[in-house]
Every structure is written in structure tokens, then in C-alpha cells.
Structure 1
């Protein structure tokens, strides 16, 4: 779908320079002399490169719609992650570096959403929150529970999270997968 260059908004995926790019930030610029334009910061969905581009209102860009499909994470095989389509039960493998550091949050049979373009996966959306167990943390110091300072803890998947001082080894917590931050104690 063609849109004017000044209509690109953050989150839009566009076809530009024979690749797929997501708009990270946009700014409308109206110089004193010459036509207005949109200054757009783009991130390449395939290799992560960044690019700053100017689009005038007279230019058109190709906006791409991504298909989102529900999948289930099965297992890791070498550097590949294996997912299964929730409808057709077909298995698909994706390089682990597509998810990056957030690979640590994947758990067996976890529901995820794959962003697909023309049948090719280009992104993975993990659930916003996961429940993890604390396997290592500093002991609780008596009287420190009223303090607002947090202490480091390591969870069962190896992720380091800052937790409240009253948390102990063996407790289950909810962690935000986007910010890698403690949310609350798991029920």
C-alpha cells in the first residue's frame, strides 16, 4: 500500500532500498525555506542496521502489512529455535539471534506470535510477562524490608533481575520480558 512520505508513523513497516524497515521515530520538519519533510529514523528488520531518512510529502513509500501468526516454542537446536504453528502444526526454525538476549525467556510450550512477511518470519513477539524462580540472591537483612533499595538476583534461566530486599532463593517472581524488570511476586 503506497502512502505519502510525510504519513510514515512510528511502528510502520515500509519497503525501502530493497529491504524491510520499521519506523522508530518520526519528526515533521518545516524549514523556513523549501518544502516540509518528515525526518524518519528507520531500523532494518532483517539485519538491525539503522538509517535516518528524509521523506517529502510528494514522495511515496510502500507500507508493508505483516501477517501475525500464533506459534508455540518447542525447543532449541544448536543456534536455531524451533516453533510450531498453532493451527497447521507445521514446524519452523528461526535463528536465535533474531530474538537476541530475550531468547533466555523462552520456555517449552510458550505461546508466541511470529511476524511474517510473504511467508518468511521476520520477528518474534514474546509474552509480556514470564514467571521465573530465583536461584541465587543475597540473604535478607533484618530490618531492611522497609528500604526502597533493590538487590540483584539470578533466575532459573540465568537472567539477572533487581528484586525487593525481602525476596529469597526459591521464590517465584513475574518478570517483564521487554524491560527485564521485576513486576511482582508470582501467585
Structure 2
């Protein structure tokens, strides 16, 4: 148990049986009346974001979230199998839990897997990954006036918008948060 005065960004709270991560908090002390804490909370499982206000000093239940660096091994049907790099234990993570990260996940890649009481909550990838382009249309000669882009399929099967000069077989750096092309690797 902690009080609302102890809140920090990234802290995970157990409210009404659901896990909520503190995205932002602000301790407000108006001239008249009691102090309160205004928070922005994100549901760890669904991603839903809500604003919630607590009276200052109110007790809230914190949840223990264990973040471990794990290595992605392989896909097992809809599940993804990760191995803990310290204990070498393997865990299955549901495809829904991995979410968009699956588009940038290569075998033997390292990722942070957050668990609560042994249940995987989410998978965090590094902010950028290097992927090889498996297919893209050749850029047309003279089509350079707009500095346009074209779709390219990377080795994970995801499609990334790349500049016209990029060709099949090149390695590129991709932002895992929004799928943007960052440059050649």
C-alpha cells in the first residue's frame, strides 16, 4: 500500500481489480480546500487512458510488475515464446499481449517482458530495430522532385514506407513505436 503522495510516473496501481500505470500526476494544493492529486492512468492490458483525481494522502494499492529482459525464440501458433536470459525459463506470451511489437520481432531479438504474478502484461521493444527489406518496387528514374516514399516489405512481413532510393536486400533502421523509416543501417 502506498499513498497518493508517493505516486511516480510508471508506477502500476491495482484499482478495482485492474492494473493501471501512472502516465502523469500532479499534486494540486488550492488556496481553499484540501489538496488533491490529479493523475492520468493507462490500463496496462487494454491501453485505455483515463484521468482520475484522488484526495491527497489517500491509500492506493500498488501492483508488483516484474520487468525482465528476455530473448524472443519463436512463434508457436498464435503465441510467442520468450526465454528469460538469467534463468533460461521459457514463457508463452499471447499474440494479443505482444500486439504491434510482433511486426518488428525477429528470432533471438531481446525485448522487455513485463509480468504480474506470472502473467505477461506487455512486451517492450528497443526504440529502433534493424530489418532487411525483402521486397520493394524499384524507384523510377526522374521521380525525385517530391522526395516521395514507397512501401517496402521487411523480413518480419511488416510494411514500412521508405524513400525511393532504397532497394531490396538493404538493411534499414525502423522506429518500433510508430513504424517509421529512420535511415539505412
Q: Which TM-score tier does this pair reach, normalised by the shorter chain?
A: 0.7 to 0.9
**In structure 1, distance between residues paired with 2:160 and 2:29:** 44
- 2:181 is matched with 182
Q: How does 1:15-164 map to 2 (within 5 A)?
A: 15-29=14-28, 34-144=33-143, 147-164=146-163
**In structure 1, distance between residues paired with 2:44 and 2:5:** 21
Maintained 8 Å contact 2:128/2:174: yes
**In structure 2, distance between residues paired with 1:66 and 1:183:** 31
* Aligned-residue offset at 1:31: 5.6
Deviates more, 1:160-169 or 1:28-37: 28-37
**In structure 2, distance between residues paired with 1:46 and 1:179:** 19
**In structure 2, distance between residues paired with 1:49 and 1:185:** 35
* Aligned-residue offset at 1:157: 1.9
* Aligned-residue offset at 1:46: 3.0
Maintained 8 Å contact 2:151/2:160: yes
**In structure 2, distance between residues paired with 1:172 and 1:47:** 33
Maintained 8 Å contact 2:101/2:124: no
**In structure 1, distance between residues paired with 2:151 and 2:38:** 40
Look up the SS of the partner of 1:104 in the other structure: helix
The alignment's C-alpha RMSD in Å is: 2.5
Maintained 8 Å contact 2:97/2:120: no
- When residues 150 and 9 of structure 1 are mapped into structure 2, their CA distance, relative to the original with a 3 A threshold, is farther
**In structure 2, distance between residues paired with 1:32 and 1:88:** 54
* Aligned-residue offset at 1:29: 4.8
**In structure 2, distance between residues paired with 1:164 and 1:7:** 47
**In structure 2, distance between residues paired with 1:87 and 1:29:** 43
* Aligned-residue offset at 1:97: 0.4
**In structure 2, distance between residues paired with 1:119 and 1:152:** 39
Maintained 8 Å contact 1:145/1:166: no
**Structure 2 stretches lacking a partner, 5+ long:** none
Q: What is the TM-score when the length of structure 2 is the normalising length?
A: 0.83
Look up the SS of the partner of 1:84 in the other structure: strand
